[in-house]
Amino acid sequence: MALRRVGVVGCGLMGAGIAEVCARADLDVVVVESGAAAAAAGRARLETSLKRAEAKGKVADAAAVLDRVRLSTSLDDLADRDLVIEAIVEDTAAKLELFAKLDAVVCAPEALLASNTSSIPIMKLATATTRPTHVLGIHFFNPVPVLPLVELVPSLLTLDETTDRAAEFVGAVLGKHAILSKDRAGFVVNALLIPFILAAIRMLESGFAERDDIDAGLVRGAAHPQGPLALADLIGLDTTKAVAESLYEEFKEPLYAPPPLLARMVDAGLLGRKTGRGFYTY
């Protein structure tokens, strides 16, 4: 069964990006948001991104791509979807509640339910449904239209056929590069990346080195495209903290524990690019 009708729940930065790459692949996309205002903001985010892509020659007709996306405020509009990708806030309770609702709404027995979570165990989400064999993680990276990588994360109960269908969708349909990860906190990329970012934050917090020197050291000395503190701002400090907490909860290793400075910045609403201020001001 080809995955041609795609649903996305959430139209924030990640959800909008996922919807965009699906629409650019000529798929029929339904995006569900929590309310009319959020749906309007999501549509505006999509329109801005597609117009930018059109100006750069990456999209022939932004309006035609946007026409393949329908915004909704009702999960019932996902009933006929072949694949639904959850891209809501990184909160376990909220995701569990959503997966239970999606299980009841999505009609096709062979339809896949996927999460874009960057840290929450897929097994936990799968057991909120009556179809754990058809649940897996499909984790995109920000910005979704630009970065080519997707992590596929089957749980212990996910069928091989489910993973194969998802891999074909990611590779042959979306043109992304898929890597396979075990269902453990952080998966592949964040299990490597988050401790690296946390080490940079601790270095700044302790006064060992200044912000600009930390980032310049990795950019100019290790050929990184951007420094770890700038990267944390791009990811979002709240997301960085949430992933760190998930890693620490699972492994209890000190290197995964969020530094106090990170926690205080999140409490203050200094979340990085999304709020205009984090380690840098935007």
Catalytic residues: 118, 139, 151, 190
Return the structure tokens found at 1: 């069964």
Check: CB of residue 8 under 8 Å from CB of residue 32: yes
Task: Tell me the β-bridge partners of 30.
Answer: 7, 70
Contact 149, 138 (CB under 8 A): no
73's torsion region: left (phi>0), alpha (psi -120 to 50) or beta?
A: alpha
CB 13 within 8 A of CB 93: no
Give backbone dihedrals phi and psi of 195, rounded to 5 degrees, phi first: -60, -35
CA–CA distance, 169 with 35 (Å, rounded to integer): 29
- Residue 65: CB atoms within 10 A of its CB come to 23
Alpha-carbon distance of 77 to 20, in angstroms, equals: 18
32, 72 contact by CB (below 8 A): yes
CB 140 within 8 A of CB 38: no
